[in-house]
Amino acid sequence: MALELLFKNLDTNDLASLQPGSFAAKPKAPQPVDEGDATTAKSASAGAAAFPTYRTHVKIFQFSTGDDIGDSSELEGFIQFPNFKRNFASNLPNETSFRSENGGFGRLVADTAIDTAFTPANFRVYWYEQDDSSANDIIIDKSMDWSVPANLKFADGRAWSQEWWNRDDIAYKAYVWWQVTPLM
């Protein structure tokens, strides 16, 4: 009976349908991550459940920083799932490349995961450099809605990454990394 109620109350229209912003530069196409890379270790744990469950794991890597007032770049943003949002912030030195870290992805600045029943969790990643002169300089504005059939190929258990950068200062480059793993 409880499972019937759970199915009855599940409304996929309630899942956030997040739209990308208009300020970040158009990213390159998502690419599968090399499974031999240490940063792509499977995030699923073993265990049986009464219904299909998924772990959606999302990371932000800062590949490089650009020029900013002062000696550091103040970076902020969030990873958001339906009903859950986690904020992140990082101060990194200006005009610095972190390409030698994490298998070439750069400095890990955000990492979070969520387990969900029935479908993978939609997510939004928003990452920007605080600009003291005007608006924030958006580096990443990525949304993933699993109700869009074309997106399901990115929820196949493999790790995926997508390169992003700020359109006004391309030295601010970062990667969104995600992996959707069935737990059952």
Q: Is residue 18 part of a domain?
A: no
Burial class (CB in 10 A: 0-12, 13-18, 19+), 110: buried
2 or 78, greater pLDDT: 78
Residue 85 lies in a domain: yes
Distance CA 175, CA 182 (A): 23
Q: What is the mean pLDDT of residues 125-152?
A: 87
Backbone angles phi, psi at 75, to 5 degrees: -110, 140
CA distance 95 to 41: 30
Please check whether residue 9 lies inside any domain of the structure: no
Please give the tally of structural domains in the chain. 1
Q: Which domain holds residue 119?
A: 24-33+49-182
Measured CA distances, 94 to 66, 134, 167 (Å):
6, 18, 17
Classify residue 163: in a domain, yes or no.
Answer: yes
Does residue 39 form part of some domain?
A: no
Q: With a cut of 90, say whether residue 155 has pLDDT above it.
A: yes
Paired strand residues for 126:
78, 141
* Residue 130 falls inside a structural domain: yes
Three-state SS letters, the chain: CHHHHHHHHCCHHHCCCCCCCCCECCCCCCEECCCCCHHHCCCCCCCCCCCCEEEEEEEEEEEECCCCCCCEEEEEEEEEECCEEEEEEEEEECCCECCCCHHHCCEEEEEEEEEEECCCCCEEEEEEECCCCCCCEEEEEEEECCCCHHHHHHCCCCEEEEEEEECCCCCCEEEEEEEEEECC
The verdict on residue 155 lying in a domain is: yes
pTM over 0.85, yes/no: no
CA angle 54, 112, 117 (to 5 degrees): 20
pLDDT digits (tens, 9 = 90+) for 74-131: 999 999 999 899 999 999 999 999 999 999 999 999 999 999 999 999 999 999 988 7
> How high does pLDDT run on average in the chain?
82
- The answer to whether 163 and 35 have CB atoms below 8 angstroms apart is no
Domain containing residue 143: CATH number: 2.60.40.150
In a domain, 15, yes or no: no
